[in-house]
Amino acid sequence: MKTFLYTTAAIGALCFAGTANAACGDISLGSFSWQSSEAMTAVDNLILNAGYGCNSSIVVGDTVPTITSMIEKGQPDIAPEATPSLLGEVYTSGEAEGRISQIGTAISDGQVSGWYIPQYIADAHPDIKTVEDAMKRPELFPAAEDPSKGAVIQGPQGWGDTVVTAQLFKALNNPNFVMVPTGSAAALDGAIAKAYEQNQGIIAQYWSPTSLLGKYPMMRLEMPHDADEWARCTSKQDCPDPKPNYWKQAEMVTLGSAGVVDRLGPDAAAYIAKRSWTQAEVGKVMLWMTENQANGADGAKWFIKNMPEVWTQWVPTEVAEKVKAAAN
């Protein structure tokens, strides 16, 4: 775990020694297009505004452009949920220069990305365990436009995972497969849902935790991870000679641009440093959002009302009362 700008213990001491709404001004939060990011960002927005008197706002964007903007322009101020290890040099160079750093933890037990196949395909073909196993069976994962070839469904541009998928596909160099890009998170979800509804095979770039994998059980294909190759090429979009490589279990943390902890003030900074939830906890929020076609703001209010045993551990009592009132 990287060292925070303030230690959790030190910030916590400041928080409970001071007032609940010490100085906190304009704060921009970067939200990404997946549900857990939308939910975490909306929870932060609600608690910072109602509990700490911030003037917080949400800026929606994609991973790489947002992190690049934080490093180069200092905006947005905070990315509530991000995975620096997937960003390669984009993040490490900015961190080394002091332009961006970890200021909290989003999901305590992290997340995992990969190529996934439907569980019913895995059950019917127990010999398929790895990426290499699946790539030997293109007939099980037919491309819509050319069923004689298999397909790998790629996520939208702008995602770090999409870069990794492109580099892995290039490295595998399998002429019996094509890569099929999707233009949005919704299109990626739709491709998986359609395959399930038609009982078809599909290989799709995806990650956990998500409500979609709760509704449509899928198995993550296995492949070794090489950290050196990841840094050299896998995570770099313009690297010309990738080797087969895969994701590892990844951290889900909160990133801040330079100086944001000072602008938050000690109390709001203490909240960001302390708060985190588990895959199971955020999974409940995401499932409710999916079943109710709700957005992140709705999910945040549902979380505040229905899971107080989680979030009231993050804030002092007087802040919790303000947040409860704002969520009603």
What does the DSSP assignment read for 61-94?
--HHHHHHHHHHH--SSEEEEE-GGGTTHHHHHH
Domains 8-110+249-327 and 112-234 share a fold: yes
Give the pLDDT band (50/70/90) at residue 103. very high
233-283 residue pLDDT tens: 999 999 999 999 999 888 999 999 999 999 999 999 999 999 999 988 998
Mean pLDDT of 124-133: 98
Coil vs helix vs strand at 128: coil
Please state whether the predicted TM-score (pTM) of the whole model is above 0.85: no
The mean-pLDDT minimum among 77-81, 144-148, 150-154 falls in 144-148
Mean pLDDT of 109-135: 96
Mean pLDDT of 113-132: 97
Distance CA 60, CA 57 (A): 10
Q: Where are the domains of the chain?
A: 8-110+249-327, 112-234
The pLDDT value recorded for residue 85 is 82
Which CATH class name applies to 112-234?
alpha beta
271-327 residue pLDDT tens: 999 999 998 899 889 989 999 999 999 999 999 999 999 999 999 999 999 999 999
Mean pLDDT of 124-141: 98
Per DSSP, the residues of 18-42 read: S-TT-S--EEEEEE-SSHHHHHHHH
The mean-pLDDT minimum among 87-101, 204-218, 273-287 falls in 204-218
Enter the CATH code of domain 8-110+249-327: 3.40.190.10
Answer with the residue of higher pLDDT: 85 or 5.
85
Distance CA 165, CA 253 (A): 22
Q: Within a 10 A sphere around the Cβ of 163, how many other Cβ atoms? A: 25
